[in-house]
Amino acid sequence: MKDYEHPFFRPLWRRVAVVAVCVIWAGIEFASGTPFWGVIALGFAAYAVWQFFYLYKPAEEAKPPVEPKE
């Protein structure tokens, strides 16, 4: 299993939240006058988009076996 396939990241809102936090962090860094760290944070955001939206394949959940009706 790869890190981006971890069950923690299965809900879409968590993947979006990780990307949003990285973008907000980058904005704060640029606003405070530290563009180097802003670019680093944008790099994290770009990597998260790549991992969580481009490469992400939702794992199929195990379904309980269907019992035959009598």
Domain ranges for the chain: 3-54
Per-residue pLDDT of the chain (70 residues; tens, 9 = 90+): 467 677 888 888 999 999 999 999 999 999 999 999 999 999 999 999 998 888 777 666 556 667 776 6
Spatial distance between the Cα atoms of 60 and 69, rounded to a whole number of angstroms: 25
With contact defined as beta carbons under 8 Å apart, do 56 and 4 qualify?
A: yes
Give me 56's structure tokens.
């992400």
Instruction: Report helix angle 35-49 to 12-31, nearest 10.
Output: 160
Output the CA–CA distances (angstroms, integers) from residue 34 to 21, 45, 65, in the order listed: 17, 17, 56
